[in-house]
Structure 1
Amino acid sequence: MRVGVLVPVHGFAPYLPETLDAILGQRSSAALEVVVVDDGSSLPIVLHPDHADRVRLVRRDAAGGPAAARAAGLAALDDGVAAVALCDADDTWLPGSVARAVDALDAEPAAGWAFGGAVVVGPGGRPTGEAWATLSPGRHAAGTFAARLYTANPIPTSSVVLRRSALDAAGGFAGPVRVAEDWELWLRLCAAGQDAVCVGAPAVRYRRHPGGLTADVARLAAAQLIVHELHADVVGLQVAAGIVADDHAALAAGLARAGDHAGASAAWAQVAAARPLQRGERLRRAALRVPLVRGRLGRTDPYRG
């Protein structure tokens, strides 16, 4: 099976050489065709000499986000590529990750995509100790998996390998959000009837750092809100309403961190209209009314509470 690897990049990319080293160092029976997509960086991306002859570099004139960049990379792949592997430019594949995913798809010919777990590391590459949610190994039927995915996204983007036919069935990479675009794709894959296979073993070193897209808590929460509203039929309107209320709570916390206290107050009002506030939520909402207190709301690690 020929596998195309898509690596979207925008702006300063200090981890890209490490990412490409790990991709090109994979030992797999699958032939890898690697495409790096420069998503409209103000200073064009330049590949290291060690990678330039082994990686195709595609440039978009304007930034469109990860999904648009992956779509450009997909268009650049040879027609003979049967599967597409995803890897973000700040993550690092673990040895053998592609081979395990391809073997899993070979063992489950009716499944459309495969994924693994993640080890979370910090900017310097050391594990943070953060636990990544794990799923049971084996095949997950699209009809029931969609409801599990609607609640939360436990799938590291850089662990995913998709059959090209499954991606086509789901409508490709293009979606309604620029953040959480991966999560929205997983839900579209399920809606298209594409079963998934969980490899079980960690596949990637997922990097937390201030420049990552998920570091903007408010932006991520706003995107999650859109995803949940679009796919509410997966769980039904009553369940979806509770999850959307939680999105508004996350948005309120993110806006408070960013100093948008009026926006945070409005988001808390949305939560209160949907369900009773929990004690901690009531305290955070009340803190917005106290100038000396609300300035402290953004000082904690967003990944640890």
Structure 2
Amino acid sequence: MRQTGIRAVSKQDGVQNVDSLSPSKLKWDSASQPSAPGPVSVIVPVRNGEAFIGATIDSILAQGDVVGEIVVVDDGSTDDSAAVALAAGDPRIRIVRTTGLGLPAARNCGVRASSGAWLYFLDADDLVQPGALARLLEAAESAPQAGLVYGDYDRIHADGTPFGRRKFFMRFRRKPTGDVLESLVRKNCMVVGTQIVSRSVYDACGGFEESLKNLEDWHFWCRVAARSEFLFVPDLYVMSYRVHHTSMMHTRLLPFEAIEPAIEIVYGDPAIARRLDADRRARYRRSTEAAMMSYLASVAIRLGTYREGLRMILRSIRRDPAHSPRAVAQFAGAFVGL
């Protein structure tokens, strides 16, 4: 991991240059700290996100005093992302400037610059729904054994209008809760921005794996699940996921080979392996690979690359025939906006 070229910026002093500041030693002047921090530290990585980050920051501030600080990690932007974030004028907003560390390292850097008991990660083009963090915290207080508390999400267009029909159909679905490791390793059920994570659990897991270019979030959720229970809050839509032309997952189709490194790391992770015997790991890995292929098939349909979608769904069925009913349902759902 590269750990140089970081600068601290605060609303109070504009841009403060700090030469060769390592993320592990990153500290803030007392004048930059909120006077009465709430329990949630919000971490927002951004790179050239000036078009949407203003609305993202507004949605966070609307959560009220449960938010103690908003750490925006500007990872090498060449636009005015930082200035737009600071324009909200709230002293809880602080900026860390990094030099192209990548998304997982940027999130980790933001955590090191924060102090809240709970961590909330939000991408710079998404929106957190009104009152969502307070409801997650309330649920967390009722389940002290849960190190991660989460809800669901919907999709929006670039202009903020609803995208697809996911919210309508997902109201009939309940996601896993409690000990979710076996479910989660087989199929990722979360996206970034739908959960709060206990800082103590984050620290025990060591943060996001910085060598991964894809699915680093899924690997992190699996590591959390190996150590702690999850709590799903039904009927809570925490976040609106924005679909737009600069969104990587909605403008190009990743080959399966691009996500294989994450599968290797998940199934080779000692904390996860200790929870699963060799037979289950082998069976679950086939299920995981089939689920990832069916997900890529549904993305292909949303992108209009129907031939590639058909090729990928057939590959999924061949990899794990037992998964085929769910794979076909997901594939069909992509045609109706799920």
Q: TM-score normalised by the shorter chain: which range applies?
A: 0.7 to 0.9
| 1:67-87 Cα distance to aligned partner (Å, 9 max, x none) | 111111111113xx2111111
Q: Find the partner of 2:81 among 25, 33, 45.
A: 45
Show structure 1 runs of 5+ residues with no match: 279-300
Q: In structure 1, the residue corresponding to 2:70 is in which secondary structure?
A: strand
Q: Structure 2: which amino acid aligns with 1:64? A: G
| Residue equivalent to 2:109 | 72
Q: Structure 1: which amino acid aligns with 2:109? A: A
User: In the TM superposition, what is the alpha-carbon distance from 1:47 to its structure 2 partner?
Assistant: 2.5
Report if aligned partners of 2:187, 2:288 keep a CA contact under 8 Å in 1.
Answer: no
Tell me, in whole angstroms, the C-alpha distance in 2 between the residues paired with 1:223 and 1:153. Answer: 16
Report if aligned partners of 1:11, 1:41 keep a CA contact under 8 Å in 2.
Answer: yes
| 1:104-158 Cα distance to aligned partner (Å, 9 max, x none) | 1111111101111112111111111331556637x8223xx12222233222311
Report if aligned partners of 1:214, 1:220 keep a CA contact under 8 Å in 2.
Answer: no
Tell me, in whole angstroms, the C-alpha distance in 2 between the residues paired with 1:246 and 1:44. Answer: 39
| 1:252-285 Cα distance to aligned partner (Å, 9 max, x none) | 89899899x9x99x98998798568x9xxxxxxx
| 1:208-247 Cα distance to aligned partner (Å, 9 max, x none) | 1221132255337445433333334554213422432554
| Residue equivalent to 2:201 | 166
Q: Find the partner of 1:198 among 232, 235, 238.
A: 232
Asked if 1:58 is matched to 2:88, the reply is no
Q: Structure 1: which amino acid aligns with 2:188? A: N
| Residue equivalent to 1:23 | 60
Report if aligned partners of 2:53, 2:81 keep a CA contact under 8 Å in 1.
Answer: no
Q: Report the number of matched residues.
A: 273
Percent identity between the two aligned chains: 26
Identify if the C-alpha distance between structure 1 residues 172 and 85 changes in structure 2 by more than 3 Å, giving closer, same or farther. Answer: same
Moved more, 15-24 or 53-62: 53-62
Asked if 1:82 is matched to 2:121, the reply is no
Tell me, in whole angstroms, the C-alpha distance in 2 between the residues paired with 1:253 and 1:118. Answer: 17
Using structure 1 for the length normalisation, give the TM-score: 0.75
Asked if 1:11 is matched to 2:48, the reply is yes
Tell me, in whole angstroms, the C-alpha distance in 2 between the residues paired with 1:173 and 1:61. Answer: 18
Tell me, in whole angstroms, the C-alpha distance in 1 between the residues paired with 2:106 and 2:209. Answer: 9
Asked if 1:99 is matched to 2:144, the reply is no
Q: Structure 1: which amino acid aligns with 2:127? A: T
Provide the aligned C-alpha RMSD in A.
Answer: 3.6
| 1:154-175 Cα distance to aligned partner (Å, 9 max, x none) | 2231121111001011121234
| Residue equivalent to 1:185 | 220
User: In the TM superposition, what is the alpha-carbon distance from 1:43 to its structure 2 partner?
Assistant: 3.6
Identify if the C-alpha distance between structure 1 residues 255 and 118 changes in structure 2 by more than 3 Å, giving closer, same or farther. Answer: closer
Report if aligned partners of 1:179, 1:220 keep a CA contact under 8 Å in 2.
Answer: no
Identify if the C-alpha distance between structure 1 residues 236 and 92 changes in structure 2 by more than 3 Å, giving closer, same or farther. Answer: same
| Residue equivalent to 1:297 | none
Using structure 2 for the length normalisation, give the TM-score: 0.68
Q: Structure 1: which amino acid aligns with 2:120? A: A
Tell me, in whole angstroms, the C-alpha distance in 2 between the residues paired with 1:267 and 1:34. Answer: 40
Identify if the C-alpha distance between structure 1 residues 228 and 96 changes in structure 2 by more than 3 Å, giving closer, same or farther. Answer: same
Show structure 2 runs of 5+ residues with no match: 1-37, 268-272, 325-333
Q: Find the partner of 2:285 among 213, 227, 240.
A: 240
Q: In structure 2, the residue corresponding to 1:157 is in which secondary structure?
A: coil
Identify if the C-alpha distance between structure 1 residues 226 and 113 changes in structure 2 by more than 3 Å, giving closer, same or farther. Answer: same
